[in-house]
Amino acid sequence: MAGFINFADEEEVRGYLENIHIEYSYQCFKEKDPDGCQRLADYLDAVKKDFVAAGRVLRDNCETHGHSESCYKLGAYQAIGKGEFEPDLKAAYKSFMKSCEKGGKKSVNACHSVGLLAHDGRVNGDKPDPVVARDYYTKACDGNFAPSCFNLSVIYLQGAPGVPKDMNHALKYSLKGCELGHAWACANASRMYKLGDGTEKNDAKAEDLKNRAKQLHKEQKEASSSITFGE
Q: What is the pLDDT of residues 3-48, one digit of tens each?
A: 444 445 777 778 888 899 999 999 999 999 999 999 999 999 999 9
**Closest Cα partner for 68 from 41, 31, 30?**
41
- The reported pLDDT for the residue numbered 7 is 45
Q: What is the pLDDT of residue 222?
A: 86
The share of the chain scoring above pLDDT 70, in percent, equals 94
- The full DSSP string for 153-209 is HHHHHH-BTTB---HHHHHHHHHHHHHTT-HHHHHHHHHHHHHTSSS---HHHHHHH
What 3-state class would DSSP assign to 222?
Answer: helix
Q: Which of 224, 215, 221, 156 is nearest to 181 (CA)?
A: 215
Model confidence, pTM:
0.88
Q: Which of 179, 103, 54, 100 is nearest to 116 (CA)?
A: 100
